[in-house]
Amino acid sequence: MNQISKSFGDFFLDNVFLTPAVIQAGVVTPSDTFGFELWHSFTTDKLLTGVNETGGNGLVLDGVTSGVIPGFTSAGYEVFLSQIKGGIIGYEAGFDFGPGGVFPFRLSATMATIIAERIDWSTQPGMTIQYLTEVIESFDGTEQRIALRDQPRVSLTYQYLLDDGALTEFDIKYGNFGGQLLVPMWAHASELTHDVLLGDRIIYVDSVNGYVSSSNTLMITDGVDSEFVGVESVAFGAVVLTALVNRNFKLGARVVPVRAGYSSDESSATIHIDSLASHQITFELDETTFTKPVPVDAFERYKGKHVIPFRPDRSNDISVQYQRLREHFDPTIGARSIYERTPGIVRVFSHAFRFFSDDERQSFENFAELQNGAQGEFWMESAAIAMEIAEDIYDETFKLKIKPVGYSRLGNSKSFPPAITISLYNGTTLKRSLVSAGAVGGLEVLILDEPLSDIKVEDVESIKPLYLCRFDSDEFKYTFDTTQDSTITKTIRQLLHADAPEN
């Protein structure tokens, strides 16, 4: 049979190429951009008469739309999605070369549903960070822990107060469409320090917290209009965007970091009157795309372990639970028997921490991250004073004489604190580990691992126990009053040191 053979030149020469010509992007966010190139293999220049766009409501094509295109010269294009509000994207751009034909570029995607409504601050929003820690406890109360997640799971809890048309719009958007959502992290919002004008590429904010600096997408909102922008770089309060701003925003408008996630399986709404309802939702952020700020280790260490620097909120009482490690044998006949697994008790402290700035809260989050949630061990100073110095110290000595409080029995229990902290009125804080203790002449003498010198009784403000601790739970739930003022209540568990001190 006769067949007409075709060569490479039949396809390559005198043709227009789009690379790629088709992009199937799947689920996308407003900060996503897609690039492609147009070029032709004609030996003469070709005139691009225009670009015919369809299905591009809210989509921006950046590149040459008309003019002479030289042969074998690439023209770059980018597609920006920052103004698309959700739904299916079926975009086509036809590059019209007149008699040479029309050559299409196609982009298909699904924009994640955007939950841009403002939250109701009368009900405190919350953020929960979970690490999933496994606890392996030995018979005598010592323990090991393993954090099973490389990336902690983050969830946000908001309440929305909706009225009139906003109520119906929110109900339709949230109740009828599933899949991925784009959720603003309202509690970590910053404010514009300068007006933003149409066409600006750089915006200036009052504070660049960790969530703003690690975001790919930000939302700028003044309460009426909102715009999603992609982030190229952040430095010293200046945020460089991936595309130009399409609206004007005044000084003081909110700049909110945005994360992708999913709503919890159940949420609840309360209809107050026909046109007013409140809706409470918990959003589980997608840990495969979620980027947490990189923790900054600026914390003091003692004996190789961090010292927690945060003081509890003393407007709330600190509660201490005492747990004894015992085995109970209660046969059906005969006397009950109790076996002490280890002398002493394990102290469990409940501390409420209040942060008056986002930097303070971020610092606490950094500390928790460095502990891998509840895996790491750290030192914590007791809120109660332990002992009182009895004699002045002149020459360098390893001995500290105190008024009797029972520390002479240090070697008989593992639940004694392994160290103390000595606070002086001049602001100096000294930390020493306890080696042994005994009673001498109506006083108690502590033997320390490092010497002390030149300390008078009147110089000492307090001497407190320094416990080796872990966070009892790996769930960290922050409650926000404002973007600056937040609280967290944490249970902190004393660790029993495995090796008893020697007398």
Per-residue pLDDT of 401-432, as tens digits, reads: 999 988 888 888 888 899 999 999 998 999 99
Give the model confidence (pLDDT) of 239-273 as tens digits: 998 888 888 999 989 999 998 888 888 888 888 88
pLDDT score, position 501: 41
193 has a pLDDT exceeding 90: yes
Q: Give the three-class secondary structure for 109.
A: strand
Using alpha carbons, select from 439, 389, 433 the residue that is nearest to residue 409.
439
The pLDDT score that the predictor gives to residue 14 is 81
Does pLDDT of 29 surpass 70?
A: yes
Amino acid at 32: D
Structure confidence at residue 138 (pLDDT): 67
Q: What confidence tens digit (pLDDT) does each residue in 356-373 have?
A: 998 899 999 999 999 988
Tokens of 99: 């008699």
Helix (H) or strand (E) holding 368: helix 358-370
Q: What is the pLDDT of residues 59-110, one digit of tens each?
A: 889 899 999 989 888 899 999 887 776 678 889 999 999 888 899 999 988 8
Higher pLDDT, 390 or 326: 390
Predicted pLDDT of residue 464:
92
Looking at per-residue confidence, does 127 or 139 come out higher? 127
Buried b (16+ CB within 10 A) or exposed e, 33-57: bbebebbbebeeebebbebebeebe
pLDDT band at 379 (very low <50, low <70, confident <90, very high): very high
Which residues share a beta bridge with 435? Answer: none
Which amino acid appears at position 343 of this protein? P
Tokens of 231: 């982030």
pLDDT of residue 292 exceeding 80, the answer is no
Q: List pLDDT tens digits, range 440-487.
A: 888 999 999 999 999 999 999 999 999 999 998 889 999 999 989 999
Q: Which of 42, 48, 45 is nearest to 9 (CA)?
A: 42
Average pLDDT over residues 170-199: 87
> H helices of 156-248, where?
164-176, 210-213
Residue 312 per-residue DSSP state:
P
pLDDT computed for residue 336 by the predictor: 76
140-164 pLDDT, tens digit per residue, is: 666 777 777 777 889 999 999 988 8
Burial of 246 per CB tally in 10 Å (0-12, 13-18, 19+): middle
Which residue in this structure is represented by tokens 């009426």? 224
Indicate whether this model's pTM tops 0.85.
no
Better-predicted residue by pLDDT, 324 or 137: 324
Question: What are the residues whose beta carbons fall under 8 Å from the beta carbon of 115, sequence distance 6 or more?
Answer: 173, 174, 181, 182, 183, 184, 283
DSSP 316-346: SPPEEEEEEEEEEE--SSS--EEEEEEEEEE
pLDDT at residue number 4: 52
Give 460: exposed, middle or buried? Use CB within 10 Å, 0-12, 13-18, 19+: middle
The one-character DSSP state at 367 is H
- 8-state DSSP, 391: S
pLDDT at 410: 86
The long-range contacts involving 143-150, CB below 8 angstroms and separated by at least 24 positions, are 143/495, 145/374, 145/375, 145/470, 146/375, 147/372, 147/373, 147/374, 147/375, 147/474, 149/287
Residue 204 confidence (pLDDT): 93
32 exposure class (CB count in 10 Å sphere: 0-12, 13-18, 19+): buried
Top-confidence residue, 176 or 437: 437
The residue assigned the tokens 């006397």 is 335
Q: Which of 416, 385, 431, 411 is nearest to 494 (CA)?
A: 416
H-helix or E-strand spanning residue 366: helix 358-370
Three-class secondary structure of residue 299 per DSSP: coil
DSSP 441: T
Confidence of residue 334 (pLDDT cuts 50, 70, 90): low
